[in-house]
Amino acid sequence: MKKKALVIGTALVMALQVAACGSSSSSTASSTTAATEAATTAATEAAAADASTEAAAATTEAAAEATTEEAIATTGSYTIYNETGEKVTELTVTRNDATEDAENYAGDAGLADGESVTVDKDYPDATADTTLTLTFTTESGYTASFTTLGLEEAPITLLAADAMTGATPINFSIPQ
């Protein structure tokens, strides 16, 4: 909008200068007409440029919003491998921003070392901030949690306390 005003103002100043410098009334009228046409052309071009820029900005903003809405995952599928060296007696995956019953994915018999289980989660009302907590307990009483699990498809390996290479009790990989 500033560019448009600047172009129009410049064109009008040019028109007035041409009119003031003319020596005869016919050349002044001719110069004034030419300056007016130049100012009108410049204003039209500036308005078209502004409209084009505003349309491009609106299109870009709409595309960004659509991409953001499409990118929000509402489901998660996790293949969880027990590599703790012992039986996992309790394995839960629960949503952090809502209360839900914690299903034990280890089952009544537990999840033996070396076994795996697939956990599928579906939250149609999920937002970009929706996260899950994965918690497991082994038969010796070792309990560990990962509290920032996103909705995604991922392999997860449960690690023994002495197998951790950092603060995280899981590894996002398939065991070798």
Question: Percent of the chain having pLDDT more than 90?
Answer: 51
With 80 as the cut, is the pLDDT of residue 25 above it?
A: no
Higher pLDDT, 109 or 45: 109
- What is the predicted pLDDT for the residue at 16? 47
- Residue 145 domain-assigned (yes or no): yes
8 A C-beta contact, residue 76 and residue 120: yes
Q: For 52-111, what is the HEC assignment?
A: HHHHHHHHHHHHHHHHHHHHCCCEEEEEEEEECCCCEEEEEEEECCCCCCCCCCCCCCCE
- Residue 153 domain-assigned (yes or no): yes
With 80 as the cut, is the pLDDT of residue 20 above it?
A: no
- For position 97, which CATH number holds? 2.60.40.2890
Whether residue 157 is found in the same domain as residue 80: yes
pLDDT tens sequence across 146-174: 999 999 999 999 999 888 877 889 999 99
Domain endpoint, select from 42, 71, 100: 71
Whether residue 47 is found in the same domain as residue 110: no
- Residue 176 domain-assigned (yes or no): no
Say how many domains are in the chain: 2
8 A C-beta contact, residue 54 and residue 16: no
Residue that has been written with the tokens 């991922």 in this structure: 154
pLDDT tens sequence across 49-107: 555 556 555 555 655 554 445 578 999 999 999 999 999 999 999 999 888 788 999 99
Structure tokens, 133: 């907590």
Residue 49: phi and psi, rounded to 5, are: -65, -40
